[in-house]
Structure 1
Amino acid sequence: MTIHVSPDAHPALVLNADYRPLSYYPLSLWSWQDALKAVFLDRVNIVSEYDVVVRSPSFEFKLPSVVSLKTFVKPSRHPAFTRFNVFLRDRFQCQYCGSREDLTFDHLVPRSKGGQTTWENVVTACSPCNLHKANKTVAEAGMLLHCHPFAPSVQDLHNNGRLFPPNFLHESWLDFLYWDTELDP
């Protein structure tokens, strides 16, 4: 799965006050318009700029490519339980067959049998596997799980998010994104 980012849109990478991205997946990006608005409202510092200028009758301004918030936003300690975060935890693949197509989620213990909608009871599944399992437990359906579900940390989701970089990464962003780059000794 790839996040589509148009380089022609000149998005700005948004960093927290500690110079870490607010989010890795989706990558924390603002439109150039939102970035400029934040600059004028004195909410961000410009860290890097594009070689593109916008003009008005009264000013000329280079578009920011990286901005950092002036006030630190404390990251959530526990990620929200959302469909997207379940998919991200499971790396956007069916936990039964490994497919990346037609994804939904499945309750290991079906709700009709008392199963809860929790991190530990929900996995990403493709529609064919979900239909095959139907209203059965994994064992009753004779299926195997690739990975057992768990409540992920924010770090778990960030690590998985790094596996799905957007199609466009501006060179000014690379020092702030740690996409499997080897560090010099």
Structure 2
Amino acid sequence: MPSTSDGLSAQAISSGLKTRYLGRCLTHLTIATSTMDVAAVQARDGAPEGMVVITDQQTTGRGRFQRRWISPSGQSLYLSIVLRPRIEHLMALGIVASLAAVRAIHRTTGLSPTIKWPNDVEIAGRKLAGILVDSTVGATGIEYAVVGIGLNVALDPRQHPEIAGIATSLAYASGKPVERL
């Protein structure tokens, strides 16, 4: 499996998981169009629930309304999770993902992000992460849902004029280096 200089690899990720099925099937790519696209294809091809796609760089990462997500190599976490929820649980996926992201960020960094509904995680009013949920519904119900999370880890927003005044990262907000793993 590919690995980056910060040690992010499928093996490193899997060995640190304490889950029953989330991430137990994992694809780590050096570069992808977007993890949402890759996960959707894998879901259509029968990927198991909980399958995770993670990449070091996205060439066409996106958020809600197809807005571009700045996705330079090795500076953030870009991942998508394949789920097969019951229809009554579909609307909660984005909320649960946002709450999980806030909790994980606080536990690992001590920072206290907030949620800007419906899908942003912020620190001091600046976007730190975005959550995106896409689903495909068939005749018998939901075929699959893909939950995507883009989390700015070491990204310096000043290097990207289009997000300089509205984004932040874990490293920028904390004032110290933060690794993706």
TM-score (norm 2): 0.21
Structure with greater proportional helix content: 2
Structure with greater proportional strand content: 2
Query: Bigger relative contact order, structure 1 or 2, given CA contacts below 8 A and separation 6+?
Result: 1
